[in-house]
């Protein structure tokens, strides 16, 4: 494996017609990664998909925008006990919808804290979705407070990845101090507002992700994305940082191996 997509959803129905061909192509191009669940059904589907793969792993959790579906954490606990599940999530806080009532935010926090406790219990990293309201850092501020408290409770082994990071340098600094990685998407191929953050974050705390089927890179915007686009994302990260592409590629692989405890190392 040469490239690691830290967050994709190839179990989603958008791939039903050509999933086998896509997976074969990913293997040929050396692309592996984590297939991320957003609810119980998609988490179970992610696990089933990766069982026979040597370069794909799964993550199990409930997306914050579905927090009202939550009953208890036990279904995710059972999934997460499988060794092919290497992270807890996609879980977190989403303030992007201004029409959401305060009760929704409270429920999101309750559900996220249940995932945090599960990650602490099982010793597996979190896969975090954090999206602030427009022009604000609110979701990141709340997230950092929760993670800071959890770090005190669970110790240095409590870690995770902030998927699709869209915060600023100050939010990045605080998350890095907690030893959380930040993953960047193909937004880097067509927008420049995150370049300063990409340059600021130590390479030891950067991951690459596609969030496929969403967020295709230029020039394919608006089309279905897939994990092979992670190659372009790694190239964009190296270009923005003005660093050697091969070194950045290897560093990102090593970051993923370390965070998700992928053993033996997949490269």
**Residue 133: helix, strand or coil by DSSP?**
coil
Q: 215 near 230, Cβ under 8 Å?
A: no
Specify the number of domains making up the chain.
1
pLDDT in tens, 170-198: 999 999 999 999 999 999 999 999 999 99
Question: What is the domain extent for residue 76?
Answer: 3-260
Q: Looking at residue 101, what is its pLDDT?
A: 81
β-pair partners for 57: 34
Q: Whole-angstrom Cα distance, residue 129 to residue 121? A: 20
Q: Looking at residue 99, what is its pLDDT?
A: 76
Q: Looking at residue 266, what is its pLDDT?
A: 54
Q: 191 near 153, Cβ under 8 Å?
A: no
CATH number at residue 159: 3.20.20.140
Q: Does 267 fall in a domain?
A: no
Helices vs. strands in the chain: H and E counts, helices first: 9, 8
Exposed/middle/buried for residue 13 (C-beta within 10 Å: 0-12, 13-18, 19+): exposed
Q: Looking at residue 97, what is its pLDDT?
A: 82
Residue from 124, 170, 174 nearest 147 by CA: 174
> Model pTM?
0.97
Residue from 8, 58, 34 nearest 215 by CA: 8
Q: Does 266 fall in a domain?
A: no
Please report the sign of the dihedral spanned by the C-alpha atoms of residue 24, residue 29, residue 32, residue 37.
Answer: negative
| Residue stretches of the chain with pLDDT short of 70 | 264-267
Entry field: residues in the chain: 267
Q: Looking at residue 241, what is its pLDDT?
A: 98
Q: Does 192 fall in a domain?
A: yes
Q: Does 213 fall in a domain?
A: yes
Q: Does 49 fall in a domain?
A: yes
pLDDT in tens, 203-244: 999 999 999 999 999 989 999 999 999 999 999 999 999 999
Note the helical H segments in 16-156: 19-28, 40-50, 74-80, 102-122, 138-154
């Amino acid at each position: 494996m040469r490239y690691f997509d830290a967050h994709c959803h190839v179990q989603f129905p958008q791939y039903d017609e050509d999933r086998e061909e896509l997976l074969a192509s990913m293997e040929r191009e050396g692309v592996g990664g984590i297939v991320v669940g957003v609810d119980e059904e998609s988490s179970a589907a992610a696990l089933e998909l990766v069982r026979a793969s040597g370069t794909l792993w799964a993550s199990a959790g409930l997306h914050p925008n579905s927090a009202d579906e939550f009953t208890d954490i036990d279904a995710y606990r059972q999934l997460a006990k499988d060794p092919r599940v290497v992270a807890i999530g996609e879980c977190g806080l989403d303030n992007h919808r201004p029409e959401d009532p305060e009760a929704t935010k409270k429920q999101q926090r309750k559900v996220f804290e249940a995932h945090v406790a599960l990650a602490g219990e099982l010793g597996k990293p979190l896969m975090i979705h954090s999206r602030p309201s427009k022009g604000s850092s609110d979701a990141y501020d709340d997230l950092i407070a929760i993670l800071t408290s959890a770090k005190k409770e669970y110790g240095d082994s409590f870690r995770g990845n902030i998927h699709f990071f869209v915060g600023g340098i100050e939010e990045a600094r605080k998350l890095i101090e907690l030893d959380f990685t930040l993953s960047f998407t193909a937004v880097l191929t067509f927008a420049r507002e995150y370049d300063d953050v990409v340059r600021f974050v130590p390479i030891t705390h950067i991951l690459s992700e596609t969030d496929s089927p969403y967020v295709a890179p230029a020039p394919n915007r608006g089309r279905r994305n897939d994990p092979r686009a992670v190659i372009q994302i790694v190239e964009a990260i190296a270009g923005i940082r003005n660093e050697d592409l091969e070194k950045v590629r290897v560093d990102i692989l090593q970051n993923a191996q370390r965070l998700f405890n992928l053993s033996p190392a997949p490269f």
